[in-house]
Structure 1
Amino acid sequence: MILNYFFDFDKTLASSGDASVKATKQAFQDNGLTVPTTDEILDAMGIPAEVSFPQMAKEALSADQVAKLVARFRKVYSDYELASTKLYPGIQDMLDQLTQRHKNLFIVSSKRTDAVDRNLNNLNIRHYFKDVVGCDQVDHYKPAPDGILLLIDKYQLQKDDCMMIGDARYDLQMGKAAGVHTCGVTWDAFDIASLKREEPTYLIDAPMELISLGQD
């Protein structure tokens, strides 16, 4: 039976609209770099900017250039996020239902922990979550399993009782690497075909479908 739910944040629980795309393009432009396309940016969402930005860059970047680029992105993104970040329909009801059933809810995100906490508080849903793990708390980013394994160890969880839920293949790869159940969500996924290729335990089209999964 699934007792412990590990959620990605962006494009799984909430949409930041085009804030990430706009902030990425502006950061590249402000640093005099070739601006990536919207599809390139969306395809890389789900892994930290420290990893995805050098992959998207047409120019070779030094560590200092990457740090400057990421810092600019986060500054611009923070200017956009408050107004643009919204919960998807059905998310609040789903979180209520899981909480009423005494499930343990966690966030495992490629964003920094403080940024995720800020988003959760702005959306008034922080109280649902037992803990939040951002990219600053792990040595290896998604799709490495570090974030999930940290929580399993910290709370002495059984892997067979755990499930990772996310919109990107990196979330599913992380869940599989950690040895837990996986659930792909399609309501704002950039590439549903890539989710199917990961052969998740479950694939759902609406938040409330999550309630009944793994309860036999």
Structure 2
Amino acid sequence: MKAILFDFDGTLLNTNDLIIQTFMHVLEERFPGMYKPEDCIQFIGPSLKETFEEIAPDEVEDMILKYRTWNHEHHDELVTEYEGVIETLEQLKSQGIRLAIVSTKRRDTIERGLDIMGARHFFEFWIGIEDVTNVKPDPEPVLLAIEKLGVDKGEVMMIGDNYHDIEAGKNAGVKTAGVSWSLKGEAFLKQFNPDYILYHMSDLLSIVKG
């Protein structure tokens, strides 16, 4: 394995509470009493545009703006780091494994999370929603990352906490891994047949040697 592509939210940084609380703030204002926190789990993964096109098709841009405003204001207080992520990234980098991020978030939001983690220096680049026409599960973001890295797709793995990540990797022809700490659960991810399930981020260290 020469390169690893990571989803960001829910994979490298625990943003689950932030995302759910942001959705609840926006939805409670527009649809009081209609949604509970557990209902918002389904919205983790898809782009905001996709989600709000289903929920409020006539108010998509307004809903996205409200979401991003509240999310930005409360970001730093509601995110936490997953155990072993920084240590594993350090070891992968020292072994010459090339690292990049492929997310459905905006680049500035990815960068804010990376700065909280102190992890910018591990990654060659990050691809956000504004860098592509089609988001995951379309293969476009993964194929763009492979092109930027200049590596053979057979030496690349896509890792994420949602089926969008696994399907995007498969559609692009790379290896895939789901993370067991996904809020949607290991059993949910296994339905999409990733090549690997990670039970701890350090599991990657043995996979890349294989």
3-state SS, counterpart of residue 101 of structure 2 = strand
1:116-131 correspondence to structure 2 within 5 Å:
116-131=110-125
TM-fit CA distance, 1:35? 4.3
Match of 2:137 in 1: 143
Counterparts of 1:136 and 1:155, CA distance in 2: 19
Q: Is 2:191 the partner of 1:197?
A: yes
Q: Is 2:83 the partner of 1:84?
A: no
Show structure 1 runs of 5+ residues with no match. none
1:44-83 correspondence to structure 2 within 5 Å:
44-55=43-54, 57=55, 60-62=56-58, 65-83=59-77
3-state SS, counterpart of residue 106 of structure 1 = strand
- Residue identity over aligned pairs, in percent, reads 29
TM-fit CA distance, 1:183? 0.5
Contact 1:166 1:172 in 2 (8 A): yes
Aligned letter for 2:142?
I
Match of 1:165 in 2: 159
3-state SS, counterpart of residue 107 of structure 1 = strand
Aligned letter for 1:8?
D
Show structure 2 runs of 5+ residues with no match. none
TM-fit CA distance, 1:215? 2.2
Contact 2:9 2:16 in 1 (8 A): no
Counterparts of 2:166 and 2:131, CA distance in 1: 19
Match of 2:41 in 1: 42
Number of residues paired by the alignment? 210
**1:61-91 per-position Cα deviation (integer Å, ceiling 9, x unaligned):** 22xx101001100110111111121210100
Match of 2:103 in 1: 109
TM-fit CA distance, 1:140? 0.7
Counterparts of 1:99 and 1:137, CA distance in 2: 24
3-state SS, counterpart of residue 202 of structure 2 = helix
Match of 1:24 in 2: 23
Contact 1:48 1:141 in 2 (8 A): yes
Q: Is 2:7 the partner of 1:13?
A: no
Counterparts of 2:165 and 2:35, CA distance in 1: 23
Q: Given the superposition, is the C-alpha separation of residues 54 and 38 from structure 1 closer, same or farther in structure 2, using an over 3 Å criterion? A: farther
TM-fit CA distance, 1:122? 2.1
Counterparts of 1:97 and 1:36, CA distance in 2: 42
TM-fit CA distance, 1:202? 0.6
Contact 1:112 1:135 in 2 (8 A): yes
Aligned letter for 1:144?
D
Alpha-carbon RMSD: 1.6
